[in-house]
Amino acid sequence: MSSNSTADNLCAPDNNLCIVRVHEQAVIIVPTLLLLATLVTLLALCLLRYCPERKRTRITAPQRLHSSSHRHTQRHSQRHHLQGIDAPPGLNPLEHEELPMSVQQVQQHVSPTLAAVPQMSTERHHGAFSQVTALPLSFCMKPNDTVCLYRARIDNRDVTLRVLKESANSSEKQHFLGFASFVSGLGPHPFLPALLGVVSVQSPLMMVVEELQHRDLLGFLWRCRQDNSGLESSCKMTEKRIFTMAGQVASALEYLHSQRCIHGNVGARSVLVGGDLTAKLWGLGPAYHRRTQANSLGEVEDMEMKKWQAPEVLGRGAVSQSSDVWSFGILLYEMVTLGDPPFAQLMVTELLQYLQRGKHLKRPATCSNSLYSIIKSCCHWTPQQRLSMSELIRKLQAGEKSANGRTVVRLSEPIVIDKYLREAGYERAHNYSVL
């Protein structure tokens, strides 16, 4: 009312121009300023939200090398201990990577496509990594041309980086990410190595897995052979310790079976050993391969570890829970012999006929009656007569209680790699590394 009376007092009733000028500030200027302020705020939020990501995506490795040399020199001096992965001198290709460290659960039996890669809830810059160094293989039998292994630390924790080379094609990238999705979908278990994150934003693609200090069990057993004095406490493999570690692997295997996952690759090479001698089952590559294939028959033709396979698998049958039990019996044999190959006296081509005649693994001199009884029960010719996983775990627990925890298993004969490859049935160079 006051504004209308003011306009009436200042302007004639028919003077519209005068009335507009009187109300100009309230009706035009203030709303316009509010609208401009809103637009500026939205523009600033958009720039903050999208520009950093766009900048990271557009910067390629050569551009980082030339256009950001001064900035990289600063970072390199601050983190001089970082070793670049497949990088030219002076350039760390992981400099701008984002590391998702918190993996959400995905649906079981997810199709291994790029779209099926689990969504990550927390991302970190690669600056969190330190002490990145290449992991040497215990011995090289079949080099992997697409995946490299590195050791690193993040959040004061040792991790293993399973890195896909940047030269990988789209099919190899899809397989790599599909495997990461598969492992994530299995969920956590105390005796499966923890998947801590997946780098899938930019190359190089990477899986971040907890590191276990003693790495694979096969190499650990071989090192125990060399420690004949028994001075190193970690290498004191007693029968009790064998039962304990075997029970941990059996627990992981039973869990995988409950997830409808047949391992198909059980052996000392596929078990990782922690600093506290906790054994964790890994080597899930063949399981993922079967998950992506419609038909798993005859797949043993593509695998080198035939001496670890059950007779029905050697005969081109499908792998099953009972065939995993057979391979577990071979694992027990490896543990009690400190890494001897099974059926060392036989050629691979003779193995199936040998087993058909009712023959078994010979009892090692270091093996007790109770442990050898479990090995034979696992390696029965008829799948239905082998131990179930629940029975196997129950026998291992009972054996652990009564096992000798003082006498250390010792073998003086060192492992000769060429001899081992021949006796283990490797027909050509192969790399047993499981990560």
What are the structural domains of the chain?
A: 98-210 (3.30.200.20), 215-424 (1.10.510.10)
Q: Is 160 exposed, middle or buried (0-12, 13-18, 19+ CB in 10 A)?
A: buried
User: What pLDDT is attached to residue 63?
Assistant: 36
User: What pLDDT is attached to residue 94?
Assistant: 42
User: 197 near 102, Cβ under 8 Å?
Assistant: yes
Query: 3-state class of 279 per DSSP?
Result: strand
Dihedral (CA of 181, 187, 189, 194) sign: positive
Helix axis angle, 369-378 relative to 239-258, nearest 10°?
20
The per-residue pLDDT for range 329-343, each reduced to its tens digit, is 999 999 999 999 999
Q: How many CB atoms lie within 10 A of CB 289?
A: 18
Distances from the Cα of 219 to the Cαs of 347, 361, 411, in angstroms? 23, 22, 15
What is the pTM assigned to this prediction? 0.70
Q: Output DSSP code: residue 283.
A: -
User: 381 near 311, Cβ under 8 Å?
Assistant: yes
Distances from the Cα of 397 to the Cαs of 103, 321, 390, 393, in angstroms? 33, 20, 11, 6
- Residues (pLDDT < 70) of the chain are 1-10, 16, 20, 23-27, 50-130, 136-145, 228-233, 294-304, 427-435
User: 189 near 252, Cβ under 8 Å?
Assistant: yes
The per-residue pLDDT for range 107-136, each reduced to its tens digit, is 333 333 333 334 433 343 455 556 777 776
Spatial neighbors of 137 by CB under 8 A, at least 6 apart, are 149, 431, 433
d(CA 12, CA 27): 20
